[in-house]
Structures are given as C-alpha cells and as structure tokens.
Amino acid sequence: MQRLAWPPPICRTSSTSSLRGWPGPLLEQNLAGLPSLSRPSRVHSSSDTKGPGSIFSHTAADSSPRFFSHTRLPLEAGTSILLSAEESRHATRALRLGQDAWVEIFDGSGKLGQGRLEVGRRQTSVLLEGVRQEKWALPKWTLAVAMSDLSASRADWLVEKATELGAWSLLPFISQHTHKGGADRSTKKMDRWRSLSLAACKQCRRLHGLSITDPVAFHSLLKELQVCQREGGAALVALQGGRPLQQVAATLTSPAAAASRSILVVGPEGDFTREEKEMLLEIGSQAIGLGPLRLRVETAAISALANLMLT
C-alpha cells in the first residue's frame, strides 16, 4: 500500500509563489480572497485629509475629526488654539493624527473652526483657517429631572441621550421623595456628567454644549417654571392621568413657543407628593401623560424629550 507524504510538497516558480499538489487549487483560491495583512500606516498624512478648499463644505457624515476648545474661538482665521492634554492624547495617540492633519474644533457656544493640526513635543494645537458661528436652531427645552437617586450608569445614560436629542439644558432638582443624601453636589459627579455630555456633543456633531446646573431645591424649580411661563415658554410636568403628550406637543409648534425656553419636569422614583403636585399645577404647569405603563425616571425623561424634539 502506497503511503501519502504529509505535508504535501510546496513548489515555487520563478515568477510567482503558488501551492501545488493536494490541496493546492483549493488553498490557492482561498488565499487569493484574503485581505492584505500589510500593516496600516501609523500616522495620517496631510495628503489624506481635507484641505482649505473644503472649509465648511462637507456634511456631518464625512466630517473631519472634531476636538473641543476650553477657550472661546475667535472669528478671525490665523489663530493657533492650544488643545488640552486629554484632547492632544486623543488626537495623536488614539487617532494617530500627524502634523498638518485637517481637523475641526468647537467651543460649545456654536462656533466651529477648521484648520491644521500642529503637533509639538509637549503640546498640540490647531492653526485656524476658518471659523463660523451657528445659531441654535432647535426648540430650547430644559429637562428638569429628580435624578440624584439614580445609579451612576442610569444617570450617565440620561445625560448622554439628553445631549444627543438636543436638550438646551439639564436641571437636576431635589424633591421630598428624594432619598437623604440625594443632594450630592460633588464636583466629581458634575464633572463626570459634563464630560459625558461633551463626548456626546462630538458624537452627534452638536456645536452648542448642554448646560448642566447643580441640583436645586424644589422651591427653586417652581421659580424657574414661573419665569419660563412669563417669558412665553411652556411648563410641562409628567403626571399620571395627564393629557397625552402627543396632544400637548401639537399645541407647542408655534414660532413663539419654539423661540422661548420651555421646561419639561420629571419627578423622582417615588413620584411627587400630593403637596408638590398641587404646587406644580397651581403655578400653571401642564400635566402630561406618558402612557399606561410605569416608567423609570430616565425612560420617562428621554421618551418625553424625544417626542417633543422630534414632533
């Protein structure tokens, strides 16, 4: 009985490398369809990025890398804007951008700049070649939520989605059913929320930052609602038995209502007390219903906000 040699012989020709013998044809065909394993370039060169001729002519889908400036951007070109240490690391290490890479930079006030990346040994900056100012084009909704009792992950999710949906500001407040110690105004928590909101701004290409205030007492929320209504805005409170939100939202599409700041209030896990509900309605707030099911705080807040922003 003849014994088969293993592994099969590999023959190379002078012109090209190929596999012959069993299972030569099949293996050769499979190797031909594999992607190249060559190592990608470490640094993005300036020739692969957009140039000055394309300033502000692109869409959000194919935009250049965007970074945040902690200082206000000037409207004049030619200024060099220094990036923070965190943004510098993201540009040079995470994205591996090199000298003269074409990037965008915004400051959270509606200004967007474009220019060349300047990579130094200890700092990275952006040399501006164009800056524009954009006005806020969405309804100005303040989302007031009793969120101090939420777990870190649930509160983080609420902040991120409120930013992506286009809320104007986030106003945490304290009510009677907020647990003791819920009025935690620690700098660490607020810094985390603002950092998450900034990352969400980059992701959704938002130029105006989400304003996040420190938690306020319930009586301060009532004052905010009164001021809002005097200025022509709407004051909505999510309450069981309220008028369906879709019906209320249909009455808020006037140009005057869209131009004014409005407030959407969502209470704590244990709901408002009877006294709190009476005070909210006495100052003219509209009760809105969010369906027959019991919702978590962050679910109620984001579903209601989405309905108002997308109507």
Among left, alpha and beta (phi > 0; psi -120 to 50; other), residue 2 is: beta
d(CA 249, CA 302): 15
Q: Is the pLDDT of residue 6 over 60?
A: no
CB 147, CB 172: distance < 8 Å: yes
d(CA 128, CA 126): 6
Containing 299, the helix (H) or strand (E) segment is: helix 297-310
- CATH fold, domain 46-133, is Ribosomal Protein L25; Chain P (2.40.240)
d(CA 152, CA 78): 42
Angle at the Cα of 281 from the Cα atoms of 276 and 285, rounded to 5 degrees: 115
pLDDT band at 187 (very low <50, low <70, confident <90, very high): confident
242 residue type, one letter:
G
Q: Is the pLDDT of residue 151 over 60?
A: yes
Residue listed under structure tokens 């100012």: 133
Q: Which residues of the chain does CATH 3.40.1280.10 include?
A: 140-310
* Separation of CA 270 from chain center: 29
Q: For 255-295, write each residue's pLDDT tens digit.
A: 445 568 999 999 998 899 999 999 999 999 999 999 999 99
Residue listed under structure tokens 């969010």: 290
CB 240, CB 299: distance < 8 Å: no
Count of helices and strands (H, E) across the chain: 9, 12
| Cα–Cα nearest to 151, from 296, 301, 305 | 296
Q: For 191-241, write each residue's pLDDT tens digit.
A: 999 999 999 999 999 999 999 999 999 999 999 999 999 999 999 999 999
34 residue type, one letter:
L
Backbone angles phi, psi at 303, to 5 degrees: -65, -40
Task: Report the length, in residues, of the chain.
Answer: 311
Q: Which residues of the chain does CATH 2.40.240.20 include?
A: 46-133
Give pLDDT, residue 55.
54
Give pLDDT, residue 259.
62
Q: What is the mean pLDDT of residues 17-30?
A: 44
This model's pTM is above 0.85: no
CATH classification for the domain delimited by 140-310, as one of 3.40.1280.10, 3.40.140.10, 3.65.10.10, 3.40.50.2300: 3.40.1280.10
Q: What is the mean pLDDT of residues 133-143?
A: 94
Give pLDDT, residue 56.
53
Task: Please give the residue that has the higher pLDDT: either 148 or 143.
Answer: 143
Q: What is the mean pLDDT of residues 75-92?
A: 94
Under DSSP, the state recorded for 92 is: I
Range list of β-strands (E), the chain: 66-68, 80-82, 102-106, 111-119, 124-133, 140-145, 169-174, 211-212, 216-217, 235-244, 261-266, 286-289
d(CA 58, CA 68): 19
Q: For 88-130, write each residue's pLDDT tens digit.
A: 999 999 999 999 999 999 999 999 999 999 999 889 999 999 9
Q: How far is CA 282 from CA 104, 146, 231, 287, in A?
A: 48, 20, 18, 11
Q: Are strands 80-82 and 211-212 parallel, antiparallel or unpaired?
A: unpaired
